[in-house]
Amino acid sequence: MRIGTDTGGTFTDVVGADGRIAKVPSTPHDPGEAVRRGLAQLGAGPGSLPPLEELAHGTTVATNALLERRGAGVALVTNEGLEDVLEIARQDRPSLYDQAADRPEPLVPRAWRHGVAGRLDAHGRELVALDLRGLGTLDPAVRAVAVCLLHADLNPSHEAAVAAALRAAGHDVTASSELSPEFREYERTVTTVVNAYLRPVCRAYLAALVTSAERVFVMTSAGGLVPAADASERPAALLLSGPAGGVAAAAAVAVANGFPDVVTLDMGGTSTDVCLVLGGCPEPASERAVAGLPVRLPSLDVHTIGAGGGSIARIDAGGALVVGPQSAGAVPGPACYGHGGRAPTVTDADLVAGHLPAEAELPGIGRLDLGAAQAALDRAGVTAEGVLEVVDANMEQAIRRVSVERGVDPRGLALVAFGGAGPLHACRLADALDMACVVVPARAGVLSAAGILGAPVQVDLVESWPEPLAHEGLDGARRTLAERAVARLGVTGRPQTETWLDCRYAGQSHELRVASVRAFHEEHRRRNGYARPDAPVEVVAVRAVARVVSPVQVADLPVVDRAGAVGPAVLAEQDCTIWVPEGWRAESGAVGALVLRRTGARPGETRA
């Protein structure tokens, strides 16, 4: 037996390899409790017969701990003179004209930052010998230590010596050269600190979860599974754990239905995640900002906004209607849940607008209360249609962010909608962006868990390239890095490998991930609107991925043909509800999907 789970802000989803699903309210005080309840509903988990062989898990524990600042006390060891790099950061401002805007508070207080003597040059050669006497004594409240020395991505010898000394003294150490061996000291330092900050929290959580199955894997931000023990050591790689599973599954379903180029729309109870997929492959990113902090680890390029079914609507001080990012979450939840929530949410607006059937019942919640939803909207002085217009506008802007701003016309894309609330809003968004059609996968409300179930075991590696303008030896470096990735997989099966280069024009400060130096010019043209074929190209990093494909694929899960409908219509399913507006038709597609297309003109448009 193999099961995939995804812990969300409002619900925890469970999908079995036999196609069965469970959807239970999340338990923020102990996220593992909801996972255990979901497994029990499927007859799996500790003590089950037959025992659960494999659990593939997506988690929000790392993300929530960072957002809520619930990590461990962390010390930083760096070079003398670089102790303040966390506060100096970059020169970009979070809000250019707001003089009161502040950057996020550093995770390491000034008194816990230690500088050691020793220095490498920009080629990794030693300029000043390392002197460990500068380490001093760490504060007793420190539970983890981040070590990040200048140019350790090229020569880790100094950093390894510092880490070894600290580990010998009994400290839990994250070294940047072991976690993120890439150039740019600020981003590498923050990434290392974030990992050290999250490790004690995630280690305890995953240790409690490993008893649930014979083998427990955890989804990373890059869309692959790693053993729970590895995930415990690298929790900074889990910050987009759940959303990555949904993107992978959505891409597979879209390809099966003949749509290789799509935007995925995952709208849950707390947030909405969107991602561009071209040629069936989700766009990658080498760095993501979480809670205002750059995390420089491989990731899918998922853009997240605070817009979900539980997002709270209110009138701000200027008299404008605002929706989110505050959320009613799982407790107390939207007013219509009847669990004590009084603030109006997007779910309340959908119910009042008739996009959710008045008699709807949600798993673990029961029948929704239409009267409570209307009362909450009235108390706040907002209308259902107003709330929906604002939240849809926020999601439209997010879709433009990953398409139009990347040089991709959304009119040539399909929209793949999933999550508990995504199919309620997808057609309105497609209308606003003139997108070709909407695809709603089977099990749309639990698609991230299904994607995690079908994800490969995967290892992602990266190395800085020491001589950006010297390209000799690149092929050998790529082969060597791919071989290292395969060696670290640790599972049986036929491994697949891919390698990439991070390239830029000489003088630029940003890179693009490409298959080869030759391919860089065209990718630069697509992303930025121009190319300079005669300009020198710098290679700054080499990347490799090794993966073993899962025995369970999303497209192979058992499905039941879904009945189509002509809008306006509400299609209520076990895990989600689909709103088919007037002028749209839903038809059965491949692998259990519904494909929604327009039957007439868009709202406000007349056709000849």
Confidence of residue 407 (pLDDT cuts 50, 70, 90): confident
Which class in CATH covers the domain with range 2-67+202-241? Answer: alpha beta
What is the C-alpha separation between 35 and 55, in angstroms, rounded? Answer: 10
| Residue 5: partners with Cβ closer than 8 Å, 6 or more residues away | 12, 13, 14, 15, 35, 38, 39, 55, 56, 57, 58, 449, 452
Residue 605 has pLDDT above 70, yes or no: no
- Number of CB atoms found within 10 A of residue 452's CB: 33
Q: Looking at per-residue confidence, does 575 or 233 come out higher?
A: 233
Report which listed range, 85-94, 357-366, 521-530, is most confident: 521-530
Confidence of residue 602 (pLDDT cuts 50, 70, 90): low
CATH of range 244-306+392-452+558-598; options 1.10.10.60, 3.30.420.40, 3.40.50.2300, 3.40.50.1360: 3.30.420.40
What is the C-alpha separation between 40 and 31, in angstroms, rounded? Answer: 15
Taking Cα atoms as reference points, which of 31, 14, 440 lies closest to residue 245?
A: 14
At 46-61, the pLDDT tens digits run 777 788 999 999 998 8
Q: What is the CA radius of gyration of the chain?
A: 25
Residues 186-199, mean pLDDT to the nearest whole number: 97
Percent of the chain with pLDDT over 90: 75
Q: Please state whether the peptide bond connecting residue 325 to the residue before it is cis, i.e. omega within 30 degrees of 0.
A: yes
Confidence of residue 601 (pLDDT cuts 50, 70, 90): low
CATH 3.30.420.40 positions along the chain are 244-306+392-452+558-598
- Quote the mean pLDDT of the chain: 92
Q: Give the DSSP per-residue string, 515-569.
A: SSHHHHHHHHHHHHS---TTS-EEEEEEEEEEEE--SS-GGGS---PPP-EESSE
CA 10 from chain center: how many Å? 16
Residue 607 has pLDDT above 70, yes or no: no
Residue 596 has pLDDT above 70, yes or no: yes
Instruction: Answer yes or no: are the C-beta atoms of 151 and 179 closer than 8 Å.
Output: no
Runs of H (alpha helix) within 98-216: 157-168, 176-179, 185-209
At 478-512, the pLDDT tens digits run 999 999 999 999 888 899 999 999 999 999 989 99
Residue 606 has pLDDT above 80, yes or no: no
What is the C-alpha separation between 446 and 574, in angstroms, rounded? Answer: 10
What is the C-alpha separation between 342 and 338, in angstroms, rounded? Answer: 9
| Residue type (1 letter), 586 | A
